[in-house]
Structure 1
Amino acid sequence: MKGFLEDANYSIGLLDEGATLADVIDNCIYEHTHTGKRAFYVGDLGKLVKKNIQWQNVMAPIKPFYPVKCNSTPGVLEILGTLGIGFACSSKSEMALVQDLGISPENIIYTNPCKQASQIKYAAKAGINIMTCDNDIELKKIARSHPNAKLLLHIATEDITADEEMNMKFGTTLKNCRHLMECAKEFGIQIVGVKFHVSNTCKELQTYIHAISDARCVFDMAEEFGFKMDILDIGGGFTGSELQLEEVNHVIRPLLDIYFPKESGVNVIAEPGCYYVSSAFTLAVNIIAKKTECDKLLPSGVEQTRNDDEPVFTYYINDGVYGSFASKLSEKLNTIPEVHKKYKEDEPLFTSSLWGPSCDELDQIVENCLLPELSVGDWLIFDNMGSGTLGEQSTFNDYQRPLIYYMMSFSDWDEMQDAGITSDTMKNFFFVPSCIQLSSEDRFSTAA
């Protein structure tokens, strides 16, 4: 059955060991070439299983709480829920999505730093009590709308090399923590822990050392006020690299053993988002228009390496920053396009730029790259597109949202069984033979 992103039903193709992600992409492109060239994702949900095993091997007993805003597709949420992962939600809609999976309120944290009163009331009604707070106005708003709330004080980190502006915007100081505790006492609100966040662009692991030390100070401060704190949230910032995960663990483990030993009763949690989903999704887009310019001004350095009569190509694709590349508006694209069609190794490469379909000046996806000459109708592949690309998207100019094809290998499916997969999740799986027939109409199913 073919569905759309807003559909509740979905299927996961179980691939025999002889079938690969490339086979799935080839099959989907073949189908779309004949039925309408629409952008689509292929999500390898088996990678979520592998990432969870990796997390347990390196970071246990730190429990992951997945930020739903990172990728809110049901296939992802249901697999992660089956694996016993908690969820960090930033809105009412995200809380509702997670609740529909049967996740208990104890495994949900409301993490939006600027909460709407109506959504705080929704959390209260749903029994979602744990939420973050970093200022007295927010605390008073929570006290009015959710008297049973249990707060994590969000403290700022000293990351001056990466998201300095973001850290100034969210998170409170140690000095202000005392004021917040006084306010919490006055309003009868519980404070149960501390949260901090280190950006995944931060290169200085010393930031973790300062943050954990500051958290210990807040815990000590809480004892003076009679608060029983038992949660430390070390936030996100995990890139998905096993090396980075091991480096972070190497830095934080000794401090956690000293400041928050097991006998202290403090539960350490984290919010890995792109760690789980970034590498799990591949996006395929189609070239819908093309321009050729021989006299276009190029970025510094490029003009000097090309012949004056060498063409410069501008390609327009059927997805852009008002869709799957929305994160491009605030950060650099962390993936490069790969040409799907086969071309000769010695085929000339030309300076090219990629744009979305909106004709908006902001809708530039890749400013400058080298590609063989392509034609309208050719396909480009983008890896590592699972993070921050699969939430609510604009329908600018009525361009359709990409379809999603879920897959998983049998070996990963076996790992799912070992993790305690439920019969409810099993209904979404179906078998895909190793010899994929390109003409099959219902080989893969799409969903949101």
Structure 2
Amino acid sequence: MIVSEEQRIRVMEGDWSPLSVGRHIVDGGLQEDPFYVMDVGEVVARYHTWRELMPRVEPFYAVKCNDDKLLVSTLAALGTGFDCASKAEIELVTSIGVRPERIIFANPAKMASHIKYSARVGVDTMTFDSETELMKIKQHMPRAQLVVRIRCDAAAAQCPLGIKFGCDPVTEAPRLLKLAAVLGLEVIGVSFHVGSGTQETGVYLRAIQYSRALFSLAANVGHANMRLLDIGGGFPGSLHSDIREVSQVINGALDTYFSDRSVRVIAEPGRYFAAAAYTLFAMVHATREVSQKDEEGIEQSHTMYFINDGVYGSFNCVLYDHQHVVAETIEPKCEKPQPCSVWGPSCDGLDCVLPNTFLPPLITGEWLMFRDMGAYTLPVASAFNGFPVPKVRAVIDSSVWSALKDLWPLSESHFCRGDPMTGPQTVDQSMLPSLSDTPSPSPSHSPAPVFVECALK
């Protein structure tokens, strides 16, 4: 695989955090565009937590959540599978060497050309939830290994999905299983998705109960080789979230209803892996003082802060993913937080990131940090009004890199020294210092982190 500049990872020595890395990048005042700091170690840690808490459930990362090639490559190196929803996502995953059997084409309403492409590259496992989808698959990929997707909605979810996908497990699914048998199509399993960012853990138990009933029915109508259960997504991904409670529910339900270990169990986590690994940094480039009335009709001063990323960029998650973002200053402030709002850079009046919040007084040129920004942000971001989509600066702690480097074959060309994380958004590589002429840090500043550049293959 050809390594691009955006895939490079800087190995961090000593004490560091995404905040300290962000500060280092903007130090000197030359950085103007927004950017992400991606902590690869956060992805690795979450993978190991998943395997520890749910050893029977194989994670198949939902590519739609964040298709950053670096993230996808990291998860591939760790051994995850992938949930793809389109031809382009299948192309991305297979381009880094992922085998077709590690992919599920988990879109119940697929375009015919995408089914044909899936057949050509050997991605045989795919979902369906309707008669028309079965007819389409019969025409274009009759050898497909099919998974019927049922509907079982959580009582509360950040993004409900059942309104669009999933057949009723009692009234519709049995009829579709019978139709698939009549058409000579092989159904190998059941899938469900309780809703993205679910706030109810008990829903997994209900969905697994429905799945067990359909496994039994399928065997009676001609599908004797039922062997796959896909429990979908919905797992939390913020920095301080925990999957321990939901894992206990899932493990208990699997022990009760799918004690036969011949049934393979997979899941489709997206935000679980992506959200906390990405921290966004955006600069205040303009301010405006206005007056507004509070609930009692009293005039109050209010500051509008304009930053260089907005709802047409990373903060599309505010509109489409119902995310509640939090702005933090990257430098300590002693001033008391004041009422304010945060606005994106475009000329659209709807481009509002935070309509009402509190921040200490800021001036132009200062930076804000937004944590948990890796889920459903980058894939939807656009350069509307000519404002660039933030680039990703990836880092990993040297201890984590030491444990994983054998998974990523490297050559001498993947390593270099210097400090390329400072300066403008687009770095002129010819201007980067070599190891021999890297200047010593100024006595008036604490030593900058040491970066060793490397890359995934």
TM band (smaller chain)? 0.7 to 0.9
- Give the 3-state SS of the residue equivalent to 2:88 in structure 1: helix
- 1:423 aligned residue: 409
- Give the 3-state SS of the residue equivalent to 1:167 in structure 2: coil
Report the Cα distance in structure 2 between the residues aligned to 1:425 and 1:351, rounded to whole angstroms.
52
Q: Identify which of 361, 381, 384 aligns with 1:396.
A: 384
- Render the CA deviation track for 1:365-411: whole Å, top value 9, x for unaligned: 11111111212221110011111112152111111111210100011
8 Å CA contact retained: 1:49, 1:415? no
Q: Does 1:322 align with 2:312?
A: yes
Q: Does 1:240 align with 2:237?
A: yes
- Give the 3-state SS of the residue equivalent to 2:216 in structure 1: helix
8 Å CA contact retained: 2:6, 2:393? no
Please report how far the alpha carbon of residue 230 of structure 1 lies from its aligned counterpart in structure 2 after TM superposition. Answer: 0.5
- Give the 3-state SS of the residue equivalent to 2:61 in structure 1: strand
8 Å CA contact retained: 2:36, 2:281? yes
Q: Does 1:59 align with 2:54?
A: yes
Report the Cα distance in structure 2 between the residues aligned to 1:127 and 1:405, rounded to whole angstroms.
34
- Structure 2's unaligned 5+ residue stretches are 424-430, 434-450
Please report how far the alpha carbon of residue 273 of structure 1 lies from its aligned counterpart in structure 2 after TM superposition. Answer: 1.1
Q: Does 1:292 align with 2:300?
A: no
Report the Cα distance in structure 2 between the residues aligned to 1:133 and 1:426, rounded to whole angstroms.
47
Matched to 2:246, the amino acid is V
- Give the 3-state SS of the residue equivalent to 1:170 in structure 2: coil
Q: Identify which of 5, 10, 20 aligns with 2:7.
A: 10
Q: Does 1:381 align with 2:369?
A: yes
Q: Does 1:339 align with 2:329?
A: yes
Please report how far the alpha carbon of residue 323 of structure 1 lies from its aligned counterpart in structure 2 after TM superposition. Answer: 1.0
- Render the CA deviation track for 1:4-28: whole Å, top value 9, x for unaligned: xx95752100001334333311121
8 Å CA contact retained: 2:315, 2:353? yes
Please report how far the alpha carbon of residue 186 of structure 1 lies from its aligned counterpart in structure 2 after TM superposition. Answer: 2.7
- Mapping for residues 8-407 of structure 1, pairs under 5 Å: 10-30=7-27, 33-34=29-30, 36-162=31-157, 166-174=161-169, 175-227=171-223, 228-240=225-237, 244-263=242-261, 265-294=262-291, 296-298=292-294, 300=295, 308=299, 310-344=300-334, 347-407=335-395
- 2:428 aligned residue: none
Please report how far the alpha carbon of residue 221 of structure 1 lies from its aligned counterpart in structure 2 after TM superposition. Answer: 0.9
- Give the 3-state SS of the residue equivalent to 1:212 in structure 2: helix
Report the Cα distance in structure 2 between the residues aligned to 1:343 and 1:23, rounded to whole angstroms.
16
Report the Cα distance in structure 2 between the residues aligned to 1:115 and 1:424, rounded to whole angstroms.
38
Query: Higher relative CO (CA 8 A, sep ≥ 6), structure 1 or 2?
Result: 1
Distance 1:74 1:428, change over 3 A: farther
Query: What is the root-mean-square deviation of aligned Cα atoms in Å?
Result: 2.7
- Give the 3-state SS of the residue equivalent to 1:412 in structure 2: helix
8 Å CA contact retained: 1:46, 1:409? yes
More helix by share: 1
- Give the 3-state SS of the residue equivalent to 1:168 in structure 2: coil
Distance 1:244 1:389, change over 3 A: same
Matched to 2:259, the amino acid is P
**Relative to structure 2, which stretch is displaced further, 85-94 or 201-210?**
201-210
Distance 1:377 1:437, change over 3 A: closer
Matched to 2:330, the amino acid is H
Distance 1:66 1:210, change over 3 A: same
TM-score, scaled to structure 1? 0.88
- Give the 3-state SS of the residue equivalent to 2:152 in structure 1: coil
Report the Cα distance in structure 2 between the residues aligned to 1:429 and 1:390, rounded to whole angstroms.
27
Please report how far the alpha carbon of residue 100 of structure 1 lies from its aligned counterpart in structure 2 after TM superposition. Answer: 0.7
Q: How many residues were matched structurally?
A: 427
- Give the 3-state SS of the residue equivalent to 1:268 in structure 2: strand
Matched to 2:176, the amino acid is L
Matched-pair identity in %: 34
8 Å CA contact retained: 2:9, 2:455? no
8 Å CA contact retained: 1:130, 1:150? yes
Distance 1:243 1:407, change over 3 A: closer
Matched to 2:285, the amino acid is I
- Give the 3-state SS of the residue equivalent to 2:349 in structure 1: coil
- Render the CA deviation track for 1:130-164: whole Å, top value 9, x for unaligned: 11111111121122121121111111004233379
**Relative to structure 2, which stretch is displaced further, 362-371 or 326-335?**
326-335
Please report how far the alpha carbon of residue 361 of structure 1 lies from its aligned counterpart in structure 2 after TM superposition. Answer: 3.1
Distance 1:158 1:13, change over 3 A: closer
Report the Cα distance in structure 1 between the residues aligned to 2:52 and 2:413, rounded to whole angstroms.
29
8 Å CA contact retained: 1:71, 1:387? yes
Report the Cα distance in structure 2 between the residues aligned to 1:385 and 1:425, rounded to whole angstroms.
32
Matched to 2:328, the amino acid is E
Matched to 1:252, the amino acid is I
- Structure 1's unaligned 5+ residue stretches are 1-5
8 Å CA contact retained: 1:15, 1:431? no
Matched to 1:197, the amino acid is H
Report the Cα distance in structure 2 between the residues aligned to 1:68 and 1:145, rounded to whole angstroms.
24
Please report how far the alpha carbon of residue 359 of structure 1 lies from its aligned counterpart in structure 2 after TM superposition. Answer: 2.5
Matched to 2:214, the amino acid is V
Report the Cα distance in structure 1 between the residues aligned to 2:121 and 2:96, rounded to whole angstroms.
14
Distance 1:243 1:21, change over 3 A: closer
- Give the 3-state SS of the residue equivalent to 1:232 in structure 2: strand
Matched to 1:423, the amino acid is P
Report the Cα distance in structure 2 between the residues aligned to 1:317 and 1:392, rounded to whole angstroms.
19
- 1:3 aligned residue: none
TM-score, scaled to structure 2? 0.86
**Relative to structure 2, which stretch is displaced further, 180-189 or 118-127?**
180-189
8 Å CA contact retained: 1:108, 1:128? yes
